[in-house]
């Protein structure tokens, strides 16, 4: 598997953020090395990974993803000497961070990037006293790190361009969205925006205007839904109608001078603290932090998948993740001179939690979804990928037959084989078999007839030359093998 870093992902500090980094790296298929001196850290971090794993599995795991590929060591030196990338996530205390970063800097090879998860300390301050300050960068993530793709990348006065590029490459490899903060500024970008809203929230509660629940409702039922796909600026651009942002500012700009909001924070009196605690406790309604985290993660995955078709914001990251993970561990594209296997084996996965019903058995729609990904792996193998589809061509399923032999439950490993039964200029006839990866037991089969379509013209069209050549090559191997006994469709064989 091609990776941005050639070895383990190192973590210094395993609190909520550090455990989140560990989960994300493990889900990508990395080995992880962690140092956290707090008592009980190993059990706490492993428990956090176990709780988060169902959510990252829903997004899609890479073939080498394994929550047990984590090693706990007893010193900063052991992480620094073994990791190919270091992510520091110790408490937000400058002297503590400097001590840990300095210790790592003294041991780690010069080419290893050292990143800090700090949410506000400036990288120039963190670099002070380092042997190689040019390799220090801020990589500020957002909780939960294992789901939210944003990571703010900030360089200090001594940070090199190569370090910034290497950090961004690593984060992209972790299916994140690295946002380069071009100017070193207190609080960076996202936290400054959130801080303004947080201060206004405290004022509204302190003044008795609204409860914490009412203020959260004011976001989740309205602007929060828009923010999942468009930020404030593009949202206000739309508010201007055909005139866009210019019209919006002309119409609503004068209102900025009205004293609606308060930028200074209110005094945190005992009464205000009690109001905030009582309000959020009422919102929690007796649910534990673990329960609320689970609800949050389920909703975040659903929103990210809902954005997948639009390819907006986090939905684009989900698409990129699926494109990259699909078919890894097997040939992803046929190469000239390669002998196609009979049958092809191009796709593996595990049964995701949202694929099962109340009996913990895969639903019919989940079988269709899984076989659809197996078909997509075949498309990529013959050269039909994002570029091909962008040019207007794609295969559409016109008929599908599924047979079920045994139930599959959450987390069970699956592998798929594919036999080419025939093809012509516009049609493709394939037969998938789904096996349990460990027992090799046949779970289900799926016969598909597909037609090649020119999407812009909305009609069938001939497959382009390269995929036809690859299909011809596959047919040389598959055409010599009898079709499975339960095939119900037919297509004239090529040639």
Domain of residue 87, CATH code: 3.40.50.720
Domain identity same for 209 and 261:
yes
Chain mean position to CA 168:
15
- CA dihedral defined by 301, 306, 309, 313, rounded to 10 degrees? -70
Q: Is pTM, for the whole model, over 0.75?
A: no
Domain assignment present for residue 473? The answer is yes
Q: Could you say which of 138, 162, 181 is where a domain stops? A: 181
C-alpha span between 333 and 251 (Å, rounded): 54
Same domain membership, residue 347 and residue 421: yes
Q: What is the largest CA-CA distance in the chain?
A: 84
In a domain, 294, yes or no: no
Percent of the chain with pLDDT over 70: 96
User: What is the pLDDT at residue 495?
Assistant: 52
Judged against a pLDDT cut of 70, whether residue 419 lies above it is answered with yes
Q: Are strands 344-350 and 413-423 parallel, antiparallel or unpaired?
A: antiparallel
Claim to verify: residue 166 and residue 224 sit in the same structural domain: no
Residues 110 and 217 both lie in one domain? no
Residues 194 and 177 placed together within one structural domain of the fold: no
Answer yes or no: do 36 and 72 share one domain: yes
Q: For residue 296, is it within any domain?
A: no
- Using alpha carbons, list the distances in angstroms from residue 404 to 186, 408, 444: 58, 10, 5
Same domain, 125 and 21: yes
Whether 248 has a pLDDT exceeding 60, the answer reads: yes
pLDDT in tens, 87-129: 999 999 999 999 999 999 999 999 999 999 999 899 999 999 8
Whether residues 428 and 368 fall in one domain: yes
CATH value at residue 203: 1.10.1040.10
The answer on 362 and 259 residing in a single domain is: no
Q: What is the CATH number of the domain that holds 452?
A: 3.10.129.10
Domain that holds residue 139: 9-181
> What pLDDT is stored for residue 494 in this prediction?
56
Number of domain units in the chain: 3
Token digits of residue 138: 């801020």
Q: Please check whether residue 335 lies inside any domain of the structure.
A: yes
The answer to the question of residue 206 being in a domain is yes
Span between the terminal Cα atoms of the chain, in Å = 37
Mark whether 96 and 173 lie in a shared domain: yes
Identify which of 63-77, 318-332, 350-364 has the greatest average pLDDT. Answer: 63-77
User: Cα-atom radius of gyration of the chain, to the nearest Å?
Assistant: 26
- Of 263, 286, 309, the residue that ends a domain is 286
Q: Is residue 415 part of a domain?
A: yes
23 shares its domain with 167 = yes
Residue 317 covered by a domain: no
Interval 257-272: pLDDT, tens: 777 888 788 898 999 9
Q: pLDDT confidence of 493, banded at 50, 70, 90?
A: low
- The arithmetic mean of pLDDT across residues 370-393, rounded, is 89
Asked if the structure places residue 16 within a domain, the reply is yes
Same domain as 203, residue 128 = no
């Amino acid at each position: 598997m091609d990776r941005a870093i050639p070895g383990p992902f190192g973590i210094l500090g395993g609190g909520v953020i550090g455990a989140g980094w560990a989960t994300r790296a493990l889900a990508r298929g990395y080995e992880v090395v962690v140092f956290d001196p707090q008592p009980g850290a190993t059990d706490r971090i492993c428990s956090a990974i176990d709780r988060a794993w169902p959510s990252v599995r829903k997004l899609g795991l890479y073939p080498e993803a394994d929550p047990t590929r984590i090693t706990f060591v007893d010193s900063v030196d052991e992480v620094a000497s073994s990791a190919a990338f270091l992510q520091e996530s110790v408490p937000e205390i400058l002297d503590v961070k400097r001590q840990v970063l300095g210790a790592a800097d003294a041991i780690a090879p010069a080419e290893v990037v050292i990143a800090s998860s700090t949410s506000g300390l400036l990288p120039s301050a963190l670099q002070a006293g380092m042997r190689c300050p040019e390799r220090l960068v801020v990589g500020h993530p957002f909780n939960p790190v294992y789901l939210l793709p944003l990571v703010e990348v900030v360089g200090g006065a001594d940070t090199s361009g190569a370090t910034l590029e290497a950090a961004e490459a690593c984060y992209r490899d972790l299916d994140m969205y690295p946002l380069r903060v071009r100017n070193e500024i207190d609080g960076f970008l996202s936290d400054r925006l959130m801080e303004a809203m947080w201060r206004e929230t405290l004022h509204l509660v302190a003044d008795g205007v609204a409860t914490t629940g009412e203020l959260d409702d004011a976001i989740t039922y309205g602007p929060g839904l828009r923010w999942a796909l468009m930020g404030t600026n593009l949202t206000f651009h739309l508010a201007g109608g055909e005139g866009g942002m210019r019209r919006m500012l002309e119409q609503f700009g004068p209102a900025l001078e009205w004293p609606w909001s308060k930028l200074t924070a209110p005094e945190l009196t005992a009464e205000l603290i009690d109001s905030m605690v009582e309000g959020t406790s009422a919102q929690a309604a007796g649910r534990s932090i673990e329960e609320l985290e689970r609800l949050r993660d389920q909703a975040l995955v659903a929103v990210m998948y809902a954005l997948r078709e639009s390819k907006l914001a986090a939905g684009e990251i989900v698409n990129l993740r699926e494109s990259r993970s699909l078919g890894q561990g097997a040939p992803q594209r046929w190469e000239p001179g390669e002998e196609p296997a009979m049958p092809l084996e191009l796709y593996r996965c595990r049964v995701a939690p949202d694929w099962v019903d109340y009996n913990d058995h895969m639903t019919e729609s989940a079988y269709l979804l899984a076989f659809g990904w197996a078909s997509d792996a075949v498309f990529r193998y013959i050269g039909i990928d994002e570029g091909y589809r962008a040019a207007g061509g794609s295969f559409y399923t016109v008929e599908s037959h599924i047979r079920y032999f045994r139930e599959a439950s959450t987390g069970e490993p699956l592998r798929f084989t594919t036999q080419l039964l025939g093809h012509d200029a516009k049609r493709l006839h394939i037969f998938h078999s789904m096996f349990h990866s460990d027992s090799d037991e046949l779970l289900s089969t799926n016969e598909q007839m597909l037609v090649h379509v020119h999407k812009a013209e909305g009609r069938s069209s001939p497959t382009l030359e390269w995929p036809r050549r690859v299909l011809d090559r596959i047919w040389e191997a598959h055409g010599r093998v009898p079709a499975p006994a339960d095939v119900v469709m037919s297509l004239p064989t090529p040639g």
